[in-house]
Amino acid sequence: MHDATSPRPQLRLAIAPGVASSYLAALLALQRAEEPEVSMEFNEVTASDLITGLYKRRFDVGLSLKQVSDSSLKSLSIWFEATALATPLRYPLLRQQSIRIDELKEHSVFRWKAEYSPPLDQYLSSMSSTERPNVQHVSSFEMLLLWVAAGYGVGISSRSRIETASQCGICTRPIADGPYEVITHLQRLSGQTNLVADRFELRALRVAEARKA
């Protein structure tokens, strides 16, 4: 319980583009329910600005899709989301129950550039020029939806995002040769003493466990 005579505890959270919105909403709701006395400061930043802000102690915790290999930072992989294929309605690929990446070579594929999936991106890069789909990067998930719903090609994104947007005139198909995952990382300075951030980290892990159940 917060002592009214002491400063109100605060958590400065930095969020990079692409972080799983359904997981994040569940985490923030849990945080608000269990520690309503903690003042939350939200910062929407790029992945690079998030890391810089942690180093300069502007943020206590960061959530990003980019993993960082740096001994001065603690990077914990907390949420794993499978990717899937978004297709227009009445699209030829809908005859198949699941689709392999190499079956997309005759199609335009839209990818939201902020939603990193290293295994998927590495595989696409390793394909020969004759096998590689025509990948077009877009600035947001909403733009991906626009192009797919209009019938200009298919999109690859986290399955939960695609299913949430099913009312926008698109269908979902699993990717057969995965798993290709979008991974959210929780990042903090190593050795940081911050009990509020410690409890926030544990809640993030609880949200992950609840989604597995």
The pLDDT assigned to 18 comes to 93
Q: Which domain holds residue 196?
A: 10-79+183-212
Per DSSP, the three-state class of 111 is: strand
At 158-187, the pLDDT tens digits run 999 999 888 888 999 999 988 899 999 999
Query: In total, how many domains does the chain have?
Result: 2
Cα separation, 75 vs 2, in Å, equals 29
- Look up the CATH number of the domain holding residue 137: 3.40.190.10
The pLDDT assigned to 213 comes to 67
CB atoms near residue 6 (< 10 Å): 7
Per DSSP, the three-state class of 26 is: helix
At 106-125, the pLDDT tens digits run 899 999 989 989 999 888 88
**Which amino acid, one-letter code, is at 187?**
Q
Residue 3 lies in a domain: no
Site of tokens 């603690």: 74
At 48-70, the pLDDT tens digits run 999 999 999 999 999 999 988 88
Same domain? For 150 and 106 the reply is: yes
* pTM over the 0.85 mark: yes
Residue 2 lies in a domain: no
> What is the C-alpha R_g of the chain?
19
Mean pLDDT of 176-202: 93
